[in-house]
Structure 1
Amino acid sequence: MVFVNFDLFRLVIITATEEGNGFNWTFVGEHTVNLIILLAVLAYYLKDPIRNFMVERRGIIGNEIEEARKTIEEARKKYQEYSEKISKMEDEIKSLQETLRKEGEVEREEIVRQAQAVSQKIGEEARETIKLETAKARREIQAEAASLAVELAESIIKQNLKGSDEKRFMEDFIKKVEEEGKWHQ
């Protein structure tokens, strides 16, 4: 509108300066009437298309705004959902860490218990082995002592025995062997 008025003003100036006899009101009036008629015709014919364009444009902009709101809302929901998932994952990680720590502690205690049981078993086996070896050594010592006592007794008897005593001991021994043989049959 400003450009139309500016052109009208320029046209008035040019017309006034060319004729030199002053301002031509008829010319300006005719052009003003023509301009008003042109604007009225344009307004009449373009009113509905412009209104439709504006309504359509308003609808498009409204739809775009609504889509943007929906997109923002979906983004917020997804953000919230992912935040909750991350929070749950963090809680789950903490829970898993705690579970693993407890399982590790239980396993450590089980290993310590097993080690103590093995240690106790080894100690018991060592004590039993010591008892057995002590008993074995005692038997061997007793057997050796008995053997030495027999040898000593034999040597003493040989020194003190006479021929008739020896014969009598032999006969007694043979009788005892025969009697024991009867018992075992």
Structure 2
Amino acid sequence: MWKLTMGALAALGAVVMAADPAAASSTVFGIERATWDLAWRWINFGIFVFLLVKYLKDPLVSFLKERREEIAQVFERLEEKEEALKRQQEEQERLLAQLDEKIESIRAHYHQIGQEEKEKILAQAERTRKQILEDAKAAAQRDFEEAKKRFRAEVVDMAVALAEQRLKKKITKKDQTKLLQAYLGQLKKVEPKAS
């Protein structure tokens, strides 16, 4: 670094010395003016470089050193931030994986609840179906018994009507008188027991 700075300063001095056009006409101490000016320019440049090196070397070196340390610290902080970000990313990926597992667990839980509810609804529907069938059978049995009773009553009524018709055709006045007398005789027997 130091050699590079010295080389750059020497090149700068050569450019400054070569740029003076007024140096071509006279002589000083028997030396051409251009050579004399060139020598003083080099001397001035050497003094300038010496002063720069003497007074600016330490501040410049310390500045560059501090700057390098600052940049190193910046890189260290950036690396620490990068590590922290990587850890955060890994943590978030882990949390996302856990979240996926949790979502799957919740989905399975609600699927289980849905299955249980479905089974309850089907069981209730089966009980309701059985109850409706039993009620229908009981109603059909009642209707059948009632129809049987009506049928018997109609059969009895028809039998009584048929018997009545036959009796009317077969019983004569004489038979009616005998039946009436027998009935009255039975009433007389029943009356003294009731008294």
Shorter-chain TM-score above 0.5: yes
Letter aligned with residue 156 of structure 2? A
**Cα distance change of structure 1 residues 172 and 124 upon mapping to structure 2, 3 Å threshold:** farther
Structure 1, unpaired ranges of 5+:
none
SS in 2 for 1:162: helix
The equivalent residue for 2:147 is 137
The RMSD of aligned alpha carbons is 3.2
Q: How many residue pairs are counted as aligned between the two chains?
A: 176
1:151-170 CA distance string (max 9 Å, x none): 44445455535233235346
Aligned residue among 78, 99, 107 for 1:89: 99
The TM-score normalised by the length of structure 2 is 0.71
**Cα distance change of structure 1 residues 116 and 26 upon mapping to structure 2, 3 Å threshold:** same
Letter aligned with residue 44 of structure 1? K
Q: Note the C-alpha offset of 1:134.
A: 0.8
The within-5 A match list for 1:66-81 is 66-81=76-91
Q: Which moved more, 1:166-175 or 1:74-83?
A: 166-175
The equivalent residue for 2:15 is 6
Letter aligned with residue 61 of structure 1? I
**Cα distance change of structure 1 residues 108 and 44 upon mapping to structure 2, 3 Å threshold:** same
Letter aligned with residue 6 of structure 1? V
The equivalent residue for 1:64 is 74
Q: Which has the higher contact order (CA 8 A, sep 6+)?
A: 2
Structure 2, unpaired ranges of 5+:
1-8
**Cα distance change of structure 1 residues 171 and 18 upon mapping to structure 2, 3 Å threshold:** farther
After TM superposition, the runs of 4+ consecutive aligned structure 1 residues lying more than 6 A away are 173-176
**Cα distance change of structure 1 residues 144 and 52 upon mapping to structure 2, 3 Å threshold:** same
The equivalent residue for 2:46 is 36
Aligned residue among 177, 184, 194 for 1:163: 177
1:7-30 CA distance string (max 9 Å, x none): 12334x763x33488574443333
The equivalent residue for 1:47 is 57
Q: Note the C-alpha offset of 1:49.
A: 1.5
Provide the identity percentage: 21
1:31-70 CA distance string (max 9 Å, x none): 2222222212221111221122112212221221122112
What CA distance in whole angstroms lies between the structure 2 residues aligned with 1:14 and 1:84?
80
**Cα distance change of structure 1 residues 163 and 18 upon mapping to structure 2, 3 Å threshold:** farther
The equivalent residue for 1:18 is 25
2:13 and 2:42 in contact (8 A); partners too: no
What CA distance in whole angstroms lies between the structure 1 residues aligned with 2:188 and 2:75?
131
Letter aligned with residue 133 of structure 2? G
The equivalent residue for 2:4 is none
Q: Note the C-alpha offset of 1:116.
A: 2.2
